[in-house]
């Protein structure tokens, strides 16, 4: 496979007891290593990179360990973990790779919880937003995580350089994304609709995007849509291969950033399925 995986074992050192736990990445890494993917090591994103997305007060509080909610603990050194995960997204954007770093990011808005959600849903820094702002290309963000990326929508709402397209289960956490507005297209879906109905909706969504305006695609790649996972839409590996082939069809410079997905083995197999579709192999 041509797409390289961005990973550092440093992202495995916190949150063993949490739903968003190290195994969801370590087991995915094991699967991808066995399948002979090549790996790149990320560097930390700079504070300036984070401040292109988040406000100063939020980053200051994050650094001091003062930001906490029932879903999203103030772990020791979480600012450094979050900065490395954001750096993984930047490396993915620069190399057209796939970052499997944690913590995830798409629920983190400009100053924390976004659009009325009362938690940050396991997210600290909006990784894909940091990568898009770093890349400075007009970018389509395709969010295939099973939850609406309320943070990403908040950050890019009204931004002429970015289009945000999300397919997600609804009603479900975080409760946002029921309707589209301006440059943010939302497709709320019933639970467990399955591969066929999902891919039909994805085709409809992509047909509504003015593709000629964009030179890059950033994918918020969550796999909690997998059958039985936290935001199940009843998808299987074949579904992810179908998603990958549609992203290939966009014919743009493309990168991928892991969001949710809470079975490490499924995550590894689903990433491989997605990339097989994307690379047409
Ligand atoms: Zn999710």
HEC secondary structure over the chain: CCCCEECCHHHHCCCCCCCCCCHHHHHHHHHHHHCCCCEECCCCCCHHHHHCCCCHHHHHHHHCCCCCECCECCCCCHHHHHHHHHHHHHHHHHHCCEECCCCCCCCEECCEECCCCCCCCCCCCCHHHHHHHHHCCCEEEEECCCCCCHHHHHHHCCCCCEEEEEEEECCCCCCCCCCCECCEEEEEECCCCHHHHHHHHHHHHHHCCCHHHCCEEEEEECCCCECCCCCCCCECHHHHHHHHHHHHHCCCEEEEEECCCCCHHHHHHHHHHHHHHHHCC
51 Cα: distance to centroid of ligand 1 (angstroms): 24
- Of 58, 185, 53, 186, nearest to 131 by C-alpha is 53
| Average pLDDT taken over every residue of the chain | 98
Question: What residues pair up with 112 in beta bridges, in sequence order?
Answer: 109
46 Cα: distance to centroid of ligand 1 (angstroms): 26
pLDDT at 230: 98
In whole angstroms, what is the distance from residue 44 CA to residue 63 CA? 14
pLDDT at 51: 98
209 Cα: distance to centroid of ligand 1 (angstroms): 23
107: annotated active-site residue: yes
Q: Quick check: 250 pLDDT over 90?
A: yes
Q: Please write the tens of the pLDDT for every residue from 127-164.
A: 999 999 999 999 999 999 999 999 999 999 999 999 99
Q: Quick check: 181 pLDDT over 90?
A: yes
Cα 199 → chain centroid: 19
Active-site entry in 44, 54, 106, 107: 107
Q: Quick check: 1 pLDDT over 90?
A: no
112 confidence band (pLDDT: 50, 70, 90) = very high
168 Cα: distance to centroid of ligand 1 (angstroms): 9
160 Cα: distance to centroid of ligand 1 (angstroms): 26
166 Cα: distance to centroid of ligand 1 (angstroms): 11
| pTM (whole model) above 0.85 | yes
pLDDT at 279: 98
């Amino acid at each position: 496979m041509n797409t390289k995986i961005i990973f550092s074992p440093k992202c495995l050192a916190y949150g063993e007891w949490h739903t968003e736990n190290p195994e969801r990445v370590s087991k995915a890494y094991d699967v991808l290593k066995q399948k002979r993917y090549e790996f790149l090591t990320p560097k930390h994103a700079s504070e300036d990179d984070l401040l292109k997305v988040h406000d100063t007060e939020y980053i200051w509080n994050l650094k001091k360990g003062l930001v906490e909610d029932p879903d999203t603990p103030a772990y020791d050194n979480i600012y450094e973990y979050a900065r490395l995960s954001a750096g993984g997204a930047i490396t993915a954007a620069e190399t057209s790779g796939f970052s499997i770093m944690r913590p995830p990011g798409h629920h983190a808005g400009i100053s924390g919880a976004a659009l009325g959600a009362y938690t940050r849903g396991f997210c600290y820094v909006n990784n894909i937003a940091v990568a898009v702002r770093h890349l400075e290309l007009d970018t389509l963000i395709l969010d295939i995580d099973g939850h609406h990326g309320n943070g990403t929508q908040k950050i890019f709402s009204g931004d002429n350089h970015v289009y945000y397209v999300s397919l997600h289960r609804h009603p479900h956490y975080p409760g946002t994304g029921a309707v589209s507005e301006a440059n943010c297209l939302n497709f709320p879906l019933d639970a467990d609709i399955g591969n066929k109905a999902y891919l039909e909706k994805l085709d409809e969504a992509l047909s509504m995007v003015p593709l000629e305006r964009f030179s890059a695609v950033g994918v918020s790649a969550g796999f909690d849509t997998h059958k039985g996972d936290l935001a199940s839409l009843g998808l299987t590996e074949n579904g992810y291969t179908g998603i990958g082939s549609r992203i290939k069809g966009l014919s743009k410079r493309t990168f991928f950033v892991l969001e949710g997905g809470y079975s490490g083995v499924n995550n590894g197999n689903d990433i491989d399925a997605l990339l097989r579709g994307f690379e047409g192999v």
